[in-house]
Amino acid sequence: MKIFVKVKPSSKVERVTKVSENEFILSVKAPAKEGRANEALVRLLSEYFDMPKSRITILKGLTSRDKIIELLC
């Protein structure tokens, strides 16, 4: 399953907001430096979907706030 994610790094609160069936907004506390926001994104999605982090892959947008994520069910 592929989802579209907009990431808001350096947020005060970490949260997942569902916009539509396959579109989410994620607020993470980690800054967008040295991949820390991407690590926080994978961890937060892992908790939200209750799946291991190894089953979550960033397909596009490693250095962008708009990302395409693949969830291996």
Domains and CATH numbers, the chain: 2-71 (3.30.1200.10)
pLDDT band at 73; cut points 50, 70, 90: confident
Cβ proximity of 56 and 38 under 8 Å = no
Cβ proximity of 72 and 55 under 8 Å = yes
Residue 28's Cβ-count burial label (10 Å; 0-12, 13-18, 19+) is buried
Q: What is the pLDDT of residues 17-71, one digit of tens each?
A: 999 999 999 999 999 999 999 999 999 999 999 999 999 999 999 999 999 999 9
pTM for the predicted model, two decimal places = 0.92
Cβ proximity of 64 and 41 under 8 Å = no
State the average pLDDT over residues 3-24: 97
